[in-house]
Chains A and B, each alone.
Chain A
Amino acid sequence: MNGAGGPGDQAASDPRAPAEHAVPTAGPPSGVALRIDHMSKTFPGTRALDDVCFEIRSGEIHALVGGNGSGKSTLIKILAGVYHADPGGSITVGDTTVAADHTTPAKARAMGLHFVHQNPGVFPALSVAENMVIGHGFDTRAGGSIKWRALRRQTQALLDRYEIQVRPETLVRALRPAERAMVAIARALQDQEGQHTGVLVLDEPTASLPRAEVVRLMGALNRFAAAGQTILFVSHRLDEVIDTAAQATVLRDGRLAGTLVGDGITEAKLIELIAGRALDHMYPAMPPVQSDEIVLEAKGLRGGPLAGVDFQLRRGEVLGIAGLLGSGRSELLKMIFGAYPIRSGALEFEGRPVKLRDIGDAMDLGIAYVPEDRSGEAAFLDQTLADNVVASSVGRYWRALRLRTRAMEADARSIIQTYFIRASSERQKMGTLSGGNQQKVIVARWLSRNPRVLLLDEPTQGVDVNARAEIYQLIRSAVEKGCSVLLVSSDFEELSHVADRAIVLRGGRVGAELRGADIEAVRLTELAFSTQEVAS
Chain B
Amino acid sequence: MSVVADAPAGEGGTTGGAPGLENPGKAVRSESRERLLEFIERYALVVLFIATFVFFSLWSKTSGTFPHSQNIKNVLGNEAVTGILALAIMIPLVCGEFDFSVGNTAGLTQVLCAGFMARLGMPVALAVLIPIGIGAFIGLANGNTVARVGVNSLIVTLGISSVLLGIVEWYTGGQSIINNISTGLINLGSGQWFGLPRTIYYLAAAAIAVHYMLEHTPFGRYLYSIGSNRDAARLVGLPVERYVLLAFTLSGALAGVAGVLLVAYNGTGSPQVGTILDTLQALAAAYLGATAIKPGRFNVLGTMIAIFFLAYTVTGLSLAGVADWINNVFDGGALFLAVLVSTIIGRRRAGTA
CB-nearest residue of chain A to B239: A360
Q: Name A387-425 residues within 8 Å CB distance of B.
A: 387, 391-392, 394-395, 397-398, 401-403
Size category, A interface:
35 or more
Q: Name A364-396 residues within 8 Å CB distance of B.
A: 369, 371, 376-383, 387, 391-392, 394-395
Q: Is the CB of B232 within 8 A of A378?
A: yes
A interface footprint on B9-52 (CB within 8 Å = 1, 0 otherwise): 00000000001000100110111010000000000000000000
Interface flag for A315 (CB, 8 Å): no
Q: Is the CB of A46 within 8 A of B1?
A: no
A348: min CB distance to chain B, Å: 21
Interface flag for B105 (CB, 8 Å): no
Interface flag for A86 (CB, 8 Å): yes
Contact of B228 among A87, A359, A377, A383 (CB under 8 A): A383
Interface flag for B350 (CB, 8 Å): yes
A507: min CB distance to chain B, Å: 27
B36: min CB distance to chain A, Å: 13
CB-nearest residue of chain A to B238: A392
Q: Name A319-346 residues within 8 Å CB distance of B.
A: 337, 339
Q: Whole-angstrom distance between the alpha carbons of A363 and B238 in the complex?
A: 11
Given known A360-B237, A394-B222, contact A377–B349 (CB-CB < 8 A): no
Interface flag for B235 (CB, 8 Å): yes
Given known A380-B229, A387-B221, A395-B218, contact A86–B235 (CB-CB < 8 A): no
Q: Is the CB of A431 within 8 A of B353?
A: yes
CB-nearest residue of chain A to B220: A403
CB-nearest residue of chain B to A375: B229
Q: Whole-angstrom distance between the alpha carbons of A517 and B26 in the complex?
A: 51
Q: Is the CB of B237 within 8 A of A381?
A: no
Of A37-45, A143-151, A209-217, the one with at least 4 CB within 8 A of chain B: A37-45
Residues of A within 8 A of B215 (CB): 403
Q: Is the CB of A431 within 8 A of B30?
A: no
CB-nearest residue of chain B to A430: B228
Interface flag for A167 (CB, 8 Å): no
Given known A47-B4, A339-B235, contact A403–B353 (CB-CB < 8 A): no
Total number of B residues with any Cβ neighbor in A under 8 Å? 38
Residues of B within 8 A of A397 (CB): 218
Q: Is the CB of B232 within 8 A of A377?
A: yes
B108: min CB distance to chain A, Å: 34
Residues of A within 8 A of B3 (CB): 42, 86-87
B183: min CB distance to chain A, Å: 37
Given known A377-B231, A395-B218, A398-B218, contact A431–B350 (CB-CB < 8 A): yes
B2: min CB distance to chain A, Å: 7
A interface footprint on B233-273 (CB within 8 Å = 1, 0 otherwise): 11111110000000000000000000000000000000000
Residues of A within 8 A of B352 (CB): 432
Interface flag for B224 (CB, 8 Å): yes
Q: Is the CB of B225 within 8 A of A403?
A: no
B345: min CB distance to chain A, Å: 11
Q: Is the CB of B224 within 8 A of A369?
A: no
Point out which of A337, A391, A401 has the most chain B C-beta atoms below 10 A from its C-beta: A391
Residues of A within 8 A of B296 (CB): 382
CB-nearest residue of chain B to A446: B236
Given known A42-B4, A87-B2, A377-B231, contact A387–B26 (CB-CB < 8 A): no
A223: min CB distance to chain B, Å: 37
Q: Is the CB of B217 within 8 A of A383?
A: no
Q: Whole-angstrom distance between the alpha carbons of A403 and B217 in the complex?
A: 6
B179: min CB distance to chain A, Å: 44
Contact of B235 among A45, A47, A371 (CB under 8 A): A371
A376-B232, A378-B232 are known contacts; what are 16 more A-B pairs with Cβ within 8 Å?
A45-B30, A47-B4, A86-B2, A86-B3, A87-B3, A359-B235, A376-B229, A380-B225, A380-B228, A380-B233, A392-B238, A398-B217, A431-B349, A431-B350, A431-B353, A445-B236
Query: A residues engaging B (CB < 8 A)?
Result: 40, 42, 44-47, 50-51, 86-88, 337, 339, 358-360, 362-363, 369, 371, 376-383, 387, 391-392, 394-395, 397-398, 401-403, 429, 431-432, 445
